[in-house]
Structure 1
Amino acid sequence: MEPEYTLYEQQMLRTLKRWEIKLQQPPGFVERTSKALQTRINRLLPDKMHTTITATVKGIIQTTLFGISYVPAGLPLRGLSLAERDGKAEELLSRYRKIAAVEGAGTGAGGILLGLADFPMLLGIKLKFLFELAHLYGYSTHDYRERLFILYVFQLAFSSAPKKPQLFETVRNWPTIAAAMPRTDDGMAGIDWLQLQQEYRDTIDFRKMLQLLPGIGAVVGAWANYDLLEELGVAAMNSYRLRWLQERAGARDGGNAR
């Protein structure tokens, strides 16, 4: 039996359809040019530097995903409508945008050394936001599969246009993918860490390089971090909306939805 969606849920279904269409679009001129330039720069960097950066990104993400310090206290929220969850998610995103902007302004004003320190700090802020967001939508990050889902959402937000459709398919089919996974935490074995860090760097590099310029670093740092959190928020909220509505459609009645 077809579920009876609320008016808000119908609006979100249309929002998700527009989002999916946008993810399928080829990169524009600016993005193509930026990607080509960044690819040339990456080729000029020594392999040792790529190895070091990859190890740093991998270390930060793995420590976060397999640690307990980022897991929110208390149980995931239950019994709320999608509209109520989205409202709480918007409040959470607003708070983390401000945190990221303050952090970016502070490191941007501190010159190159503090500007470089912004990279792992901002990464931690993003991951912390995703952990809390998962609990708002009713998913427990005590389950490593939910942490792995967070990683795919992160990649969806900060990957180039050609990579996004495949990542979107992973997010859309996550219930089936997760069900086939072992209950032990060996699901990270298939992650291409070099690709992940290069895609992430390529997406944020232009904005973050401007942050290192004298005189404008604080302003650019605040703008860049705020903007990057906004991009992450859109991808993450839509990903969890999609899962929530899939479960809504799979339920026999509204009482079985999260």
Structure 2
Amino acid sequence: MNEYEVKVYEEVEEWKRRLIRRSGMMNRLSKKAQVKINEWIPDKVHEMMTESIKAMVKATLFGSQLTTSKVQAIPLSLAERDELVQKKISVYQKTAIVEGAGTGAGGILLGLADFPLLLTIKMKFLFEAAAIYGFDTKKYEERLFILHVFQLAFSSDEIRKNTLSEIEHWEHRKIELIEMDWRKFQQEYRDYIDLAKLFQLVPGIGAFVGAYANNNLLKILGETAMNAYRLRLLQKAPEQ
């Protein structure tokens, strides 16, 4: 292994340690409140929301597949792939900022439109990242991996630990994983972004909040995707 791969391995190990640390008290209290609210929501409503988000995500996956470049066929070093992904993160952050500011400035109606628009931006980025790291997104297991990366970025402590374990052992786990747990997927995602996006609906500050929140969410997703794919490429510790 070269010097850069050794450095990346150490960065990935530190990222994993940060991921499994317990969240702060405010985040834990917010999660408890959201769990309680979810318990009050009738099952039929949960089922409707789950099916709606499932359909939205699958449509986004299909659209992203059609537009993803074929860069995975190009032989690149890990350093070159990382550099390309960093540039993609920057581009998608700027796109998300514009989208968040625009929908935030439009009040409640446009604020509601932010959810599918931002979801599309995130999924498109994940397809681009997968392609850059050399993974074929035409394969079902790679699209399933993308959903796991998404869930890893936007979930609570327990789900995050479980998802990280599945990603770490993906080559074995992918055989067993036939479908996502869509109810868990949508609840974790909604709970994660609810507080971050709540004030986007408030007139006067919505544009600022939307831009700030979207930028931060893409930053989190970008770091998660980079390290998840690095983790797959560096399955064992490089020799010093």
Match of 1:49 in 2: 45
Shift of 1:64: 2.9
Deviation at 1:238?
0.2
Q: Who is 2:3 aligned against?
A: 7
Correspondent of 2:199 among 198, 206, 210: 210
> Partner letter of residue 243 of structure 1?
R
Give the C-alpha shift of residue 27 in structure 1.
2.2
Give the CA deviation at 1:70. Answer: 4.2
Q: What amino acid is aligned across from residue 192 of structure 1 in structure 2?
A: D
2:147 paired with 1:156:
no
Contact 2:65–2:137 (8 Å) recurs in 1 = no
Match of 1:146 among 139, 142, 145: 142
What is the identity percentage for the equivalent residue pairs of Structure 1 and Structure 2?
49
SS of residue in 2 equivalent to 1:30: helix
How far off is 1:164 after superposition?
A: 1.1
Q: Does the CA-based 8 Å contact 2:152-2:164 persist in structure 1?
A: yes
The letter of the residue matching 1:241 is: R
Structure 1 consecutive aligned stretches of length 4 or more whose deviation exceeds 4 Å: 66-71
- Unaligned ranges ≥5, structure 1: 250-258
Give the corresponding residue for 1:30: 26
TM-score by length of 2: 0.92
Aligned to 2:178: 187
**Aligned residue pairs: how many?**
238
Distance 1:151 1:142, change over 3 A: same
Alpha-carbon shift at residue 68 of structure 1 (Å): 6.3
TM-score of the superposed pair, with normalisation by structure 1: 0.86
- SS of match in other structure, 1:76: helix
Show the 5 A alignment for 1:101-140.
101-140=97-136
Give the alignment's Cα RMSD to 1 decimal. Answer: 1.9
- Whether 1:91 and 2:87 are equivalent positions in the alignment is yes
Aligned-partner Cα distance in 1 for 2:237–2:36: 46
- The farther-off stretch of 22-31 and 223-232 is 22-31
Q: Pick from 169, 172, 176 the counterpart of residue 168 of structure 2.
A: 172
**What CA distance in whole angstroms lies between the structure 2 residues aligned with 1:69 and 1:107?**
26
How big is each residue's C-alpha offset from its partner over 1:6-35, in whole Å with a ceiling of 9 and x where there is no partner? Answer: 221111111111111112212220111110
Distance 2:111 2:71 in 1: 36
1:235 aligned residue: 224
C-alpha change, 1:12 and 1:116, in structure 2 (3 Å) is: same
Is the Cα contact below 8 Å between 1:71 and 1:141 reproduced in 2? no
Secondary structure of 1:142 counterpart: coil
Kept after mapping to 2: 8 A contact 1:71/1:131: no
Q: Distance in 2 between matches of 1:68 and 1:204?
A: 22
Shift of 1:169: 1.1
In the aligned structure 2, how far is the partner of 1:157 from the partner of 1:240? Answer: 13
**Deviation at 1:47?**
3.5
Higher helix share: 2
1:43: Cα distance to partner? 2.7
Q: Per-residue CA shift, 1:134-159, capped at 9, x if unaligned?
A: 00000111111110110111100011
1:163 aligned counterpart, secondary structure? helix
1:221 maps to which residue? 210
Task: Judge conservation of contact 1:70–1:131 (CA < 8 Å) in 2.
Answer: no
Q: Distance in 1 between matches of 2:228 and 2:6?
A: 16
AA at the equivalent of 2:178: G
Distance 1:70 1:210, change over 3 A: farther
